[in-house]
Structure 1
């Protein structure tokens, strides 16, 4: 049984990034806005391994997919969260 949380913080940790809320907000602010025609998994700020992980998670609709969707929305939305 998989009891791991698959939220945005856990996704950042999985990607090898600082995963506390302030670090997540700073990462999003630094990379916002992502152009509408760029998928979150194709953004140039990811390493090749990070891109591959994000692509695979969305392709197989894995448990991480909801967190990847949330990150995608936060990087593309018209008004950044405060």
Structure 2
């Protein structure tokens, strides 16, 4: 089976050890936010492991970066 290298927001939440159900993601998004110039990987609500994953996904331009960018955008409300 061939993979596309694309991960969904649900996949990202599962990778971060969070509930990946749509309702849980919605709840997370309405209870967490990023300040205007705050980096996603610097947010206080992540564990150190989650921060490292998010930071490396962007720095390495990994196949997770699209989902990470989407999460970053959604947390800026």
Equivalent position of 1:27 in the other structure: 28
Whether the 8 Å CA contact 2:6–2:63 is kept in 1: the answer is no
Alignment of structure 1 residues 1-82 onto 2, 5 Å: 3=3, 6-32=7-33, 34-77=34-77
* Deviation sequence 1:40-71 (CA, Å, 0-9, x none): 11100000000000000000110000000000
Aligned residues: 76
Mind listing any 5+ residue stretches in structure 2 that lack a counterpart? none
Name stretches of at least 5 consecutive residues in structure 1 with no aligned partner: 78-82
TM-score normalised per structure 1: 0.85
TM-score, structure 2 normalization:
0.91
